[in-house]
Amino acid sequence: MTTTHERPELATVEILHPLEPLTAQEITTAVSIVRSERTLSQYFRFACVTLNEPPKDIVLNYKPGDAIAREAFIILLDNETGMTYEAIVSLTQQKVTSWKHIPDVQPPIMLDEFIECENAVKACPKFQEALRKRGIDNPDLVMVDPWSAGNYGIEEENGKRLSRALCWVRSSPTDNGYARPLEGIIPVVDLNKMEVICVEDYGVVPLPPKDGNYTPEFVKEYRKDIKPLEITQPEGPSFQVQGHEISWQKWRMRIGFTPREGLVLYTVGYEDKGRVRPIMYRASLVEMTVPYGDPRPHHYRKNAFDVGEYGIGTLANSLKLGCDCLGEIRYFDAFLTDSRGNVAKIENAICMHEEDFGILWKHMDWRTNQTEVRRSRRLVLSFISTVGNYEYGFFWYFYQDGTIQFEIKLTGIMNTAAVPPGVEPKYGTLVAPQLYAPIHQHVFNVRIDMNVDGQNNSVYEVNTEAEPMGENNPYDNAFFATSTLLATESEAQRIIDPMKGRYWKIVNPSIFNEMGYPVAYKLMPGENILPFAHPEASVIKRATYMTKHLWVTPYNPEERYPAGNYPNQHPGGDGLPAWTKANRAVENTDLVVWYTIGHNHVPRAEDWPVMPVGYIGFHLKPVNFFDANPANDVPPSPSKHKCHS
């Protein structure tokens, strides 16, 4: 069956730059063009509609007034055949310029599928029978979270678009259902047919007895000793915005937003001596994997690729409440689609504001009793996504001294499971009677297309070493930093070593500062860890990027995601492990740095029912990029404070 769609006329929209995100009108037009030209049936879903970014040389050479060719990149799924397609639509030419069938892949699970899957599970007679075995007569109070099925080499799963749903039950419509897992029930759903193909039942485990409620409806006693703390900017913020171009003090950058990555940074640079010096061309979160450590039959397949299997941008919060950010806020909306190709607007998807960040620099000359101190201010760009039970906040910070920081804030509700009375689980922690949270990890990968004072860069590993005892170290106190060039992809697969003070420098070997050092930025690791799953584990085969903290590749616009373009149900080996087999040179060339951040979560009682925020991330700091402290010209702050004795 096919449907006919009239193609709307593309309204005249002023596009200020080739990297401006698609407008709502452009999305509507792109969907209409591909529907019309390919005579799509009603069974097609739109997994992604986003800007097809123009080539790097066009962007870097663009001047205001130049003609801008606009293209949309679209991923489609035909539920009737199970086939996946990629299309490129030229909005300038009003036609489909590329149409490809991508064999043997599954697009990410779409938000509409979450809702339809839950409805299909609740309507399934076998599932209702499993509920009755557990004394539950009302399926309406059941919560169903559709999890990706992964790939475990099971032949009968090949070619099927599957979800293994995890289930909980509420005691009332507003109850926190994650307090009462329906342990042992796994409905397996064919998402193309939206049918439950089986209900795995591993036996009845009693529901945990206590609730885990946290909203004002249930929490009646709040602490009463908190005084107001106001953040005001009476003259307004210091940033300027034109479209999606941002200027803040000496920083210049552009931002975008994709369904898969969420916030994207483009063309980040810092003004120095009258010119904007480039630092990064493009940076974003490109994958995220959450492996769990429970080996039991109904838990071992729990490992989510929240970027590649769901889309962290699609799951972004609308920050309309305004309490996620404080101060003078500038919000940016995001325009995506639902799976039927209708424009979906996330209002206030991106938050931008300024924050006071304590002391920037200070010195007191004790001879003259003269004190100079400057307060640090940072620009914050952030978005927050909810993935089922969990919240992730993604924050980019820009500092006055040229530092860039990426920080991930982890909060929300832990994934939970039930155990019989008296059982203490080995692979997790009891957080309430008969309720436990499994041990797990959160592993993120950030793709940073570096552009340190130009496109040709090299990467060096820096370790601090002790000078051997002997003639050069007569007092046994000497130590020094040594830099080692990582010239090829295999040499540039590295892990952290805090005992050596290890960091990595991205250097432009052709440009030098006043002292003759090549200009550079260094990537400074924060908290990190490696995965504990064995190399033969399915999750390691599919997310091999987790096994190294640093990867470096030569720039290739087709190499975007470290676990491959389609990790959903993929057997593995795609992405970084496949590309780097060629062991290409990465010296003095246009290169991409991939940094992996791992957070090891051994749950604790204090993480229940809603987890206090945990923080992980990294810094990018200038290393001889400037001739001196670039924040030396930050003016003193007026003294405004009250003393209380």
**Amino acid symbol at 629:** N
CA angle 559, 564, 568 (to 5 degrees): 150
Measured N-to-C along each axis, helices 125-133 and 111-123 cross at an angle, to the nearest 10 degrees, of: 70
Tokens for 29, please give them.
């037009």
What number is the average pLDDT over the span 597-615? 98
Residue carrying structure tokens 């540039």: 492
- d(Cα 37, Cα 109) in Å, to the nearest integer? 26
Number of helices (H), then strands (E), belonging to the chain: the values are 6, 30
Residue 231 is predicted with a pLDDT of 85
The predicted-structure confidence for 408-456, as pLDDT tens digits, reads as follows 999 999 999 999 999 999 999 999 999 999 999 999 999 999 999 999 9
The predicted-structure confidence for 42-88, as pLDDT tens digits, reads as follows 999 999 999 999 999 999 999 999 999 999 999 999 999 999 999 99
Please give the C-alpha separations between residue 574 and each of 73, 158, 291, in angstroms, as whole numbers. 21, 17, 18
SS3 for 30-93 is HHHHHHHHHCCECCEEEEEEEECCCCHHHHHCCCCCCCCCCEEEEEEEECCCCEEEEEEEECCC
390 classed as catalytic: yes
The CATH architecture of the domain made up of 24-102 is Roll (3.10)
Tokens for 277, please give them.
């010096």
Long-range contacts of 558-562 (CB under 8 A, 24+ apart): 559/592, 560/286, 560/447, 561/260, 561/286, 561/287, 561/307, 561/308, 561/447, 562/286, 562/287, 562/445, 562/447, 562/594, 562/596
Please give the C-alpha separations between residue 371 and each of 18, 363, 545, 629, in angstroms, as whole numbers. 48, 6, 49, 18
pTM: 0.96
- d(Cα 613, Cα 393) in Å, to the nearest integer? 9
Question: 111-201 — its CATH code?
Answer: 3.10.450.40
Residue 321 is predicted with a pLDDT of 73
In percent, the amount of the chain with pLDDT more than 90 equals: 94
Question: 242-623 — its CATH code?
Answer: 2.70.98.20
Say which range, 253-257, 378-382, 435-439, 635-639, has the weakest mean pLDDT: 635-639
Tokens for 315, please give them.
């799951």
The predicted-structure confidence for 548-605, as pLDDT tens digits, reads as follows 999 999 999 999 999 999 999 999 999 999 999 999 999 999 999 999 999 999 999 9
φ, ψ for residue 76, nearest 5 deg: -125, 150
CB 538 within 8 A of CB 151: yes
Residue 364 is predicted with a pLDDT of 94
pLDDT band (50, 70, 90) for residue 13: low
Which ranges in the chain are annotated with CATH 3.10.450.40? 24-102, 111-201
Pick the catalytic residue from 145, 190, 294, 306.
306
The predicted-structure confidence for 100-149, as pLDDT tens digits, reads as follows 999 999 999 999 999 999 999 999 999 999 999 999 999 999 999 999 99
Eight-class DSSP state of 155: G
293 Cα distance to chain centroid: 22
- d(Cα 160, Cα 154) in Å, to the nearest integer? 11
Which ranges in the chain are annotated with CATH 2.70.98.20? 242-623
Tokens for 486, please give them.
């990582």
pLDDT band (50, 70, 90) for residue 7: low
**Amino acid symbol at 507:** V
- d(Cα 269, Cα 280) in Å, to the nearest integer? 7
Please give the C-alpha separations between residue 596 and each of 285, 530, 542, in angstroms, as whole numbers. 10, 9, 15
566 classed as catalytic: no
Residue 638 is predicted with a pLDDT of 80
Given CA atoms 254, 393, 150, 597 in this order, what sign does their dihedral have? Answer: positive
**Mean per-residue pLDDT over the chain, rounded:** 95
- d(Cα 289, Cα 442) in Å, to the nearest integer? 6
Residue 455: how many CB atoms within 10 A of its CB? 18
Given CA atoms 165, 347, 49, 396 in this order, what sign does their dihedral have? Answer: negative
215 Cα distance to chain centroid: 27
What number is the average pLDDT over the span 26-36? 98
The predicted-structure confidence for 373-383, as pLDDT tens digits, reads as follows 999 999 999 99
φ, ψ for residue 439, nearest 5 deg: -65, 145
Eight-class DSSP state of 140: G
Residue 94 is predicted with a pLDDT of 97
Residue 641 is predicted with a pLDDT of 64
Please give the C-alpha separations between residue 96 and each of 30, 53, 184, 259, 380, in angstroms, as whole numbers. 9, 16, 48, 21, 38
Residue 524: how many CB atoms within 10 A of its CB? 17
- Alpha-carbon radius of gyration of the chain: 26
Task: State whether residue 526 is helix, strand or coil.
Answer: coil
Asked if pLDDT for residue 2 goes beyond 90, the answer is no
Pick the catalytic residue from 266, 390, 545, 566.
390
